[in-house]
Structure 1
Amino acid sequence: MIEKGKESGGTWIDPDDSPEWTDEMFERADVYEGDRLIRRGRPKSEAPKVPINIRLSPDVIERFKASGPGWQTRIDAALKQYIAEHPERV
């Protein structure tokens, strides 16, 4: 019998007594190709957005937030549209 450290919260008795893996456990498990960890989730963007601080009028924020989730993305789209329509000003 091998005793685990106090931080692990228990005593290991027999590896054969470990619980069976569920589909959920397999879904959350890390995947490796050789020694390389394969990252899951959304792939990295070629042009990631840059976090900034900006001050906007309360009525602008209120209007965009009122349209629901994704309001920051819609502000980004509105600014891109402005740049496309006014290339001489940028």
Structure 2
Amino acid sequence: MAIIRKKLSDLHVSEERVAEIANMPDEDIDYSDIPELDEAWFAKAELRMPVTKEQVTLRLDVDILRFFKAQGKGYQTRINAVLRAYVDAMKKGEA
């Protein structure tokens, strides 16, 4: 339940709405917009393991760090995404 509360709070859902959702009986949940996962779906499915991350110490220019931090939570993830885009672009240039 703590994970659900965290995810909903990230979406700026009020505490009252979080409590309402948490206390909703399963039979009141509308699943009609979720397609059935049949044998054909599982036949095409592939297992993808999450990419591991490594903790590092990195020195950044103060203005760069302030820029990313000013965008709010998840600034390290955004920095990683920018670096990922650069690496992917560089790899494409090598091909």
The one of the two structures with greater contact order (alpha-carbon pairs below 8 A, sep at least 6) is: 2
Higher strand share: 1
TM-score, structure 1 normalization: 0.45
Under a length normalisation based on structure 2, what TM-score does the superposition of the two structures give?
0.43
Larger radius of gyration between Structure 1 and Structure 2? 1
* Higher helix fraction (1 or 2): 2
